Homo-oligomer: A and B are copies of this chain.
Amino acid sequence: MVTMSDVAKAAGVSRATVSYALRGDPRITESTAKKIREVAASLHYNANLSARSLRSGRTGIIGVAIFELDRPYPSEMSAAMSREIARRGYQAIVQQTSSSKDNEIAILQKVTSQLCDGMIFSPAQVADEELRALSHGKPMVLLDDISPDPVFDSVNTACEDGAFTAVRHLINIGCKHIVAIGPSYEMLVEDRMATSVVGRRLLGCLRAFEQSDIEVGPSNFLHLPKWDPEPSRAAARAMLESARYQGVDGVFCFTDTIALSFMRGLADCGVRVPDDIAMIGFDGISDSEYSVPSLSTIRTNLDDLAHKTVDLLIRHIENEGDDGAPQRLTADYELIMRESTRRR
């Protein structure tokens, strides 16, 4: 391994001078700096990150911790974050939490908070206050954080407005009996709404129903305990066979992944989309464009989400001194109308 001392020796200067020169400190004359850079390059010198981090506390790395890497939405989101982080001159590392609390804690404690100048985190299990302790004082921006009095800045998807737009679109194309797939009716009844992503999407649905004077009941919601493809596919058959949901002609799935597999479930039963039942999803994953029929959806603009998130975080990293109340931003979204809601 070639260290800073080697470079210093080869260039005939001290280690300190090398350190300054390589990081562009104006104290060093351009001529010596240039020479040092050349020597460093010719020796293939690379700064040791551990040493730098130990001494300065900075690494130039931003961590992204995400629940699942193998679902389209989180993976497209991580990719967008990685690109934006790289664009801003940092290195991105991505970690999978698997939505397990132990894992979230381990990741934060053992690597993210230690190796990263800041982190982007989508908390599933760990509460805000706990996060503060785990963050080791490092800046953090949360995604879709729902805690009532936030500790960190956060960037959210447009849950309520997006859901409102989705349901209104179904109403606009003439749907009379609309079902939201994902949430539970109990949640609505118990009024635990504002405190979660699901709840906020539910709120949006309600607003759309109300606006059109549609009375709401259990037959407007189908609860999905786990938002995975297989249960979603099964849910389609279950819905068609259940008396409660007879006459459904419009479905709003709380994620595109649910929607695509639900649509597959409808196909299993010979139900045509959109002719028999119109469908719309949420997220705007790439697959939604290529399904047959293609899926209408509320697309979260991931570039905008990444831009806002990374910008907020880097602002914290670079002006350590700021603060004030935690900010809450919302990512842009758009309604994308495709075949699954196309009516003659």
Q: Which residues of A contact B (CB under 8 A)?
A: 1, 44, 46, 48-51, 53-54, 60-61, 68-70, 72, 75-76, 78-80, 82-83, 86, 91-96, 98, 103, 106-107, 109-111, 114-115, 133, 136, 229, 233, 260-261, 263-264, 267, 286-287, 289-292, 294
Q: Is the CB of B110 within 8 A of A46?
A: yes
For the complex, give the distance between the alpha carbons of A262 and B142 in Å: 38
Determine the residue in chain B with the shortest Cβ distance to A96: B82
Q: Nearest chain-B residue to A75 (Cβ)?
A: B75
The 7 A-B pairs of least Cβ separation, nearest first, read: A70-B79, A75-B75, A69-B79, A50-B53, A50-B54, A49-B114, A93-B93
- A94 and B93 contacting across the interface, CB-CB below 8 Å: yes
Determine the main DSSP class of A at the interface with B: helix
| A-B pairs with beta carbons under 8 Å apart, 17 shown | A1-B136, A44-B133, A49-B111, A49-B114, A50-B51, A50-B54, A50-B114, A70-B75, A70-B79, A83-B98, A92-B96, A93-B95, A93-B111, A115-B115, A261-B290, A264-B292, A291-B292
Question: Min CB distance, A233 to chain B, in Å?
Answer: 7
A46-B110, A49-B111, A91-B106 provided; 7 other pairs, C-beta below 8 A?
Answer: A70-B75, A72-B72, A78-B96, A91-B95, A91-B107, A93-B93, A264-B290
CB of B289 within 8 A of CB of A267, answer: no
Q: How far is the CA of A109 from the CA of B70 in the complex (A)?
A: 27
Residues on B with C-beta less than 8 A from A133 are 44
Contact (Cβ within 8 A) A109 B46: yes
**Contact A91 B70, CB 8 Å, known A54-B50, A115-B115, A229-B286:** no
Q: Closest chain B residue to A44 by CB distance? A: B133
Pick from B60, B114, B229, B292: contact of A292, CB below 8 A: B292
Give the complex CA separation of A286 and B109 in angstroms: 32
Q: Which of B91, B96, B260 interacts with A94 by CB under 8 Å?
A: B96
